[in-house]
Amino acid sequence: MTYELEIQIEELRAELRNAVDGADRRQIQAELEIAQAELAIEAAEMDGLLEAEPPF
């Protein structure tokens, strides 16, 4: 899933560069921040720094 998130992030960055309307820019920026956060979480999980499920 990491690869898909990286592709999504690049697509959102391209959309942000081309966005003219302020409302569109804010929406794209929010989506970009969410995708970047998801990627950071996945990277932390892969590195073993973050547990995917809470301990019992």
Domain span holding position 36: 2-46
Integer angstrom CA distances of residue 1 from 10, 11, 15, 53, 55? 14, 15, 21, 17, 24
Cβ contact 15:31 at 8 Å? no
Q: In this structure, is residue 32 part of a structural domain?
A: yes
Write out the two tokens for 32: 């970009």
* pTM check: above 0.75: yes
Total domains present in the chain: 1
The overall average pLDDT reported for the chain is 89
Q: In this structure, is residue 56 part of a structural domain?
A: no
Grade residue 47 by pLDDT with cuts at 50, 70 and 90: confident
Q: In this structure, is residue 16 part of a structural domain?
A: yes
